[in-house]
Structure 1
Amino acid sequence: MTDHAEPTLSVIIPAHNEAGLIGPCLDALLASEWAGGGVEVIVVANGCTDTTLAEAETRRTAAEARGWRMQVLDLAEGSKPGALNAGERVAGGTILAYLDADVEIAPPLLGQIAQALVGSAPGYASGQVIIPPPHNAFSRLYARFYRQVPFFHHGVPGCGFFAMNRAGRARWGDWPVIISDDTFARLNFAPEERVAVRAGYRWPIVEGFGALVKVRRRQDRGVNELARAYPALLANDDRRPSGRSWIIGAALRAPLAFLAYVAVALAVRMGKGSDEWTRGR
């Protein structure tokens, strides 16, 4: 690895069979509006049986041309918490950012995150979630309603990309083996400690009814698991609009999209859970 100054920001990217996605993710990251060096990119391929590792390696030259460090770790076991822990063990940045391998950040995002997390007080930051139009017709309907969900418009969601300074990361030890690692991280900070910057990132949802049901079921299991294992963290959640009046208003704004959303929710309730890994959207 080329010798560079110690990084300001370490970007940890866990990647499990992300061929075709890790390349665009890294290309967007490398297009960041960031002056000079000071960035370290750590791709943690875990349990990959495809070309994720090779695709990540092809971006090393571009990273080093910017004066950035880049490491690509290859773990035999497929485990996102394990990948996060492995990435942190080699990270040298004073700020740690966590990026899903299918997410593409906007050019100003890294710089704004670094500015938001300057100082010694524990802090957490993320950008604005942008859900791009899916290819599948049903998923497009679902996304139209999903974009209205208060979770995306109140507080700092942090799904797919979030960052914290070292003082914030010191609040827990290794990443626990849970489904909803992003929610766990967010709720380790009080609302006033979380900062939403203006720049955004593209956070795709899965394609097709069946895939949406699997993901929604996994999300629900993750929320329930977190509530059982770490109930005290729920006090740090944001207050958001809810109830019948919000649902009626959202349904009137996009009735077909609302029906698509309800169809997925009903299928989740009626079906049985699965331990099969699926993308967390």
Structure 2
Amino acid sequence: MTVSQEHDPNLLSVIIAARNEAGYIGDCLNSLLGQDDEAGDVEVIVVANACTDDTVGAALATRGGIEARGWDLRVIEEPKPGKIHALNTGDQAAKGQFMVYLDADVVCDTDMFAALREVLARDEPLYATGTLKVTEAQTWVTRQYARFWQKLPFVQGGAVGAGLFAVNRPGRERWQAFPDIISDDTYVRLNFAPEERIEVLPKYHWPMVEGFGNLIKVRRRQDDGVAEIVNLYPELVRHDDKKRLRKTDIIGLFLRDPVGFCVYGGVSVAVRLSPARRQWARGR
């Protein structure tokens, strides 16, 4: 499979892979509707893959508002499950010069698209994302975990891209179809050197899963995804500028947030003791 070569130089394509996201995708799409006028021309492509809820209906409910802005909404019902397959299906349909890959449970600030468009409007390959803001969790354990996670050097360094990342067309040419891997966001980010990755100021609001057991499942999958990329694509690791924690860093993190440190550490230990999980599970 190859990515469509025909594209509109003024169009921004938003690709959302969604499986059983009926409770979230309405808020996600409404945040896109709220984008300011500098967002320009936009097409929204929702790939509902193997859904057993009303994700399709929830997405189509926003069609009137999207079309009122002069934008296009396409909802593709894909019976085959899998986020990677959904991303490739969306890529085939997209015609924009700018490609935004968005999780269905993310809510964007009103100036997000304008900011992404501005920084990506260059001839050289570029990657961009917004400023990640973890939404307030409902459970105590996730609140502690999220607070501590946001203090880690990798997150503090910026351009994390979890839940939202974007590339221009020259950047999209860095790879063909998305490979059948666990961590699509890590794979894309590491296709770009640190100086090619940009974090814009507008925030995107990203929820963490709730509860200790669900944190373990998702964290295990994240760790497996990174390990898979290191194994399959060692040449990409040279672009990893993630700061390694020194002993002094660990002590400092503990002193600043001992409760969060213990919760995060407890999840980390439990991950090492849990079995591997290949399939995607948000653990809602």
How big is the shift at 1:270? 1.5
Unaligned runs of 5+ in 2: 1-7
How big is the shift at 1:6? 7.4
Letter aligned with residue 162 of structure 2: C
Question: Runs (4+) of structure 1 moved beyond 6 Å?
Answer: none
Given the alignment, which residue of 39, 44, 49 partners 2:47?
Answer: 44
How big is the shift at 1:239? 4.1
- For normalisation by structure 2, the TM-score amounts to 0.94
Q: After superposition, where does 1:253-272 map in structure 2 within 5 Å? A: 253-272=256-275
Question: Does the CA contact (< 8 Å) of 1:46 and 1:83 recur in 2?
Answer: yes
Q: After superposition, where does 1:120-159 map in structure 2 within 5 Å? A: 120-159=123-162
- For normalisation by structure 1, the TM-score amounts to 0.95
Flag the 1:276–1:179 CA change in 2: closer, same or farther, 3 A: closer
CA distance in 2 between partners of 1:232 and 1:241 (Å): 19
Residue 167 of structure 2 is matched in structure 1 by: 164
CA distance in 2 between partners of 1:120 and 1:276 (Å): 37
Residue 183 of structure 1 is matched in structure 2 by: 186
Question: Does the CA contact (< 8 Å) of 2:21 and 2:55 recur in 1?
Answer: yes
Verify: 1:219 aligned to 2:218, yes or no. no
Residue 5 of structure 2 is matched in structure 1 by: none
Question: Does the CA contact (< 8 Å) of 1:24 and 1:104 recur in 2?
Answer: yes
Letter aligned with residue 111 of structure 1: A
Residue 115 of structure 1 is matched in structure 2 by: 118
Given the alignment, which residue of 91, 99, 105 partners 2:102?
Answer: 99
Deviations 1:207-248 (A, max 9, x none): 000000001110111011010110110100114251211111
Deviations 1:138-189 (A, max 9, x none): 1111111111111111141111001001001011111001010001001101
Q: Percent identity?
A: 47
Verify: 1:244 aligned to 2:240, yes or no. no
Letter aligned with residue 107 of structure 2: E
Letter aligned with residue 196 of structure 1: E
Residue 85 of structure 1 is matched in structure 2 by: 88
Unaligned runs of 5+ in 1: none
Question: Does the CA contact (< 8 Å) of 1:113 and 1:197 recur in 2?
Answer: yes
Q: CA RMSD in A?
A: 1.6
Counting matched residue pairs gives 277
CA distance in 1 between partners of 2:247 and 2:270 (Å): 21
